[in-house]
Amino acid sequence: MTSISGDKPTTSQGEASDIERWASLIGGGAMVLMGLKQGSLRGVLTALAGGGLIYQGATKQSTIQQAQEAIGINQPIKVEKTVTINKSPEELYRFWHNFENLPTFMKHLKSVKVYDEKRSHWIANTPLGNSVQWDAEILEDRENEFISWASVEGADIDNSGFVRFQKAPGERGTEVKVVLEYNPPGGALGSTVAKLFGEEPEQQIGDELRRFKMLMETGEIATTEGQPSGRS
């Protein structure tokens, strides 16, 4: 008498990997579509992350520019600044990665509180003693190389950006590149954000990177009064 097995067929490893690949493609495609719809640097970063290309794209300026042109981005304020610091990428990344260190050299920041590996809360000073605040979320984090982030829904000022740490030619330290985008609420002009922080964003980021360089190379920041301000 012939017996018939009642066992259910099992899925082979090849089939399982195919399913995982399709799931990744679908999930990544959704992120790309969501990013492109946002029409901003945040959208580009999200789209590139969904395609698994965020690091390559962010380290090659032409890639971001091409993506922006392809989707017709009209960004209110975008700032790019680069500084060379005579320290290793590892040390600079480690200091920056703890966002609570940023107010040490970013004078417009009142405080940053890190909630977990992804989320943090930022409070920025404005003229006349006012402040604005937002929660930010890390989009991509590559140790000793790259960090990108964006504010979450409900931010007083929508913003996004990334910082890249790359060895400088000739063993001259590390090139630190920062790209930021501000989206003023209600379609306000870029001058509104400039007035909010009391100076032009490009000048502000340049000054802050110079203070970061000074802090990391000498361990202190010389104030305008000529008195040093050590690490906090």
**96-108 pLDDT tens trace:** 999 999 999 998 8
pLDDT of 88 reads: 97
> What single DSSP character describes residue 98?
S
Give the span between the Cα atoms of 126 and 134, in whole angstroms: 14
Q: CA-CA distance, 28 to 30, in Å (whole number)?
A: 5
The answer to whether 208 and 201 have CB atoms below 8 angstroms apart is no
Residue predicted with more confidence, 25 or 193: 193
CA distance 136 to 151: 4
pLDDT one-digit tens code per residue, 12-70: 555 545 555 544 544 555 555 555 555 566 665 665 555 554 444 444 444 455 554 44
Strand pairing partners for 166? 175
Q: Between β-strands 174-183 and 158-167, what pairing exists: parallel, antiparallel or unpaired?
A: antiparallel
Centre a 10 Å sphere on the Cβ of residue 232 and count the other Cβ atoms it contains. 7
Q: In the prediction, which pLDDT does 70 show?
A: 47
Among residues of the chain, what percentage have pLDDT more than 70? Answer: 55
Is the pTM here over 0.75, yes or no? no
- Structure tokens, 101: 């260190």
Maximum distance among all Cα pairs of the chain, rounded to whole angstroms: 99
Mean pLDDT of 139-163: 93
Query: How many H helices and E strands in the chain?
Result: 7, 9
A 10 A CB-CB count for 2 gives 3
Higher-confidence residue: 149 or 34?
Answer: 149
Taking residue 161's Cβ as centre, other Cβ atoms within 10 Å add up to 24
Dihedral-angle region of residue 159 (phi above 0 means left; psi in -120 to 50 means alpha; beta otherwise): beta
